[in-house]
A and B are shown apart, each in its own frame.
Chain A
Amino acid sequence: DTGVSQNPRHKITKRGQNVTFRCDPISEHNRLYWYRQTLGQGPEFLTYFQNEAQLEKSRLLSDRFSAERPKGSFSTLEIQRTEQGDSAMYLCASSLHSGGAYEQYFGPGTRLTVT
């Protein structure tokens, strides 16, 4: 296991198109998080899953955004009708929720550019 992976690494799309990103967490990790990072800012929380259940969604996650983790393994983040303001780095992280100390392991991110 080489850690959290994300695909694609880069995506350029035209305004109005739909895009989908994938995140593969570390295999034994039951929690999966999505963050968004824009230039000059720290990562901002979007949503997270425990297994296949989506437990929390940020107000940043508009109706155009949807995330799934159908079998409690990989997750997808879809953005419909993209806007230029959606241009950002989308980060995925995973962790093992076991009641004790934990660490969120981050993927390399998917950089989205909306033209």
Chain B
Amino acid sequence: AQRVTQPEKLLSVFKGAPVELKCNYSYSGSPELFWYVQYSRQRLQLLLRHISRESIKGFTADLNKGETSFHLKKPFAQEEDSAMYYCALSAAGANSKLTFGKGITLSVRP
């Protein structure tokens, strides 16, 4: 079975502070990990995926297979980063269903 755990529901930081959104997963096979973001009144959209190893909007995430984690990080938060963030998992190469965590609300205060 696939499971994604996001242990916190809310993270509130001041502008310019570092951000780390935690994600742990459980999957017996080879996973693909994603972070999706939902800004206020907008649809869910892909932020980044581990296989691309990109930095999007200053965010990065490294897959740690030993710790089964895929934490999302940004060194200096901006107010426009305030949103709901979901970690998701899919079976590698299968292009199939996503299993999502419960999500975390990031609030960046001025």
Interface residues in chain A, defined as those with a beta carbon under 8 Å from any beta carbon in chain B: 3-4, 31, 33, 35, 40-45, 48, 55-56, 58, 91, 95, 97, 101-109
In the complex, which of the residues B43, B96, B101 contacts A48, with contact meaning CB atoms closer than 8 Å?
B96
Interface with A: B14-22, B46-54, B55-63, B75-83, which one? B46-54
Contact B44 A43 (CB under 8 A): yes
Contact B45 A101 (CB under 8 A): no
Report the bound CA distance from A15 to B88 in whole Å.
Answer: 32
Nearest-neighbor residue (CB-CB) of A96 within chain B: B95
Report the bound CA distance from A31 to B46 in whole Å.
Answer: 17
In the complex, which of the residues B45, B96, B101 contacts A42, with contact meaning CB atoms closer than 8 Å?
B101
Nearest-neighbor residue (CB-CB) of A47 within chain B: B97
Contact A42 B97 (CB under 8 A): no
Contact A48 B97 (CB under 8 A): yes
6 pairs of A and B residues whose beta carbons are closest in the complex: A42-B100, A45-B97, A106-B44, A97-B95, A102-B95, A43-B100
Question: Which A residues are CB-close (under 8 A) to B99?
Answer: 45
Contact A41 B102 (CB under 8 A): yes
In the complex, which of the residues A33, A42, A48, A108 contacts B86, with contact meaning CB atoms closer than 8 Å?
A42
Report the bound CA distance from A33 to B94 in whole Å.
Answer: 14
Main SS at interface, chain A: loop
Contact A101 B51 (CB under 8 A): yes
Report the bound CA distance from A85 to B62 in whole Å.
Answer: 37
- The CB with the most chain B CB atoms within 10 A, among A42, A48, A56, A109, is that of A42
In the complex, which of the residues A33, A97, A101, A105 contacts B52, with contact meaning CB atoms closer than 8 Å?
A101
Report the bound CA distance from A92 to B49 in whole Å.
Answer: 20
**Nearest-Cβ distance from residue A106 to partner chain B, whole angstroms:** 4
Nearest-neighbor residue (CB-CB) of B93 within chain A: A99
Report the bound CA distance from A4 to B99 in whole Å.
Answer: 20
In the complex, which of the residues A33, A97, A107, A108 contacts B97, with contact meaning CB atoms closer than 8 Å?
A33
In the complex, which of the residues B6, B9, B52, B98 contacts A43, with contact meaning CB atoms closer than 8 Å?
B98
Nearest-neighbor residue (CB-CB) of A44 within chain B: B100
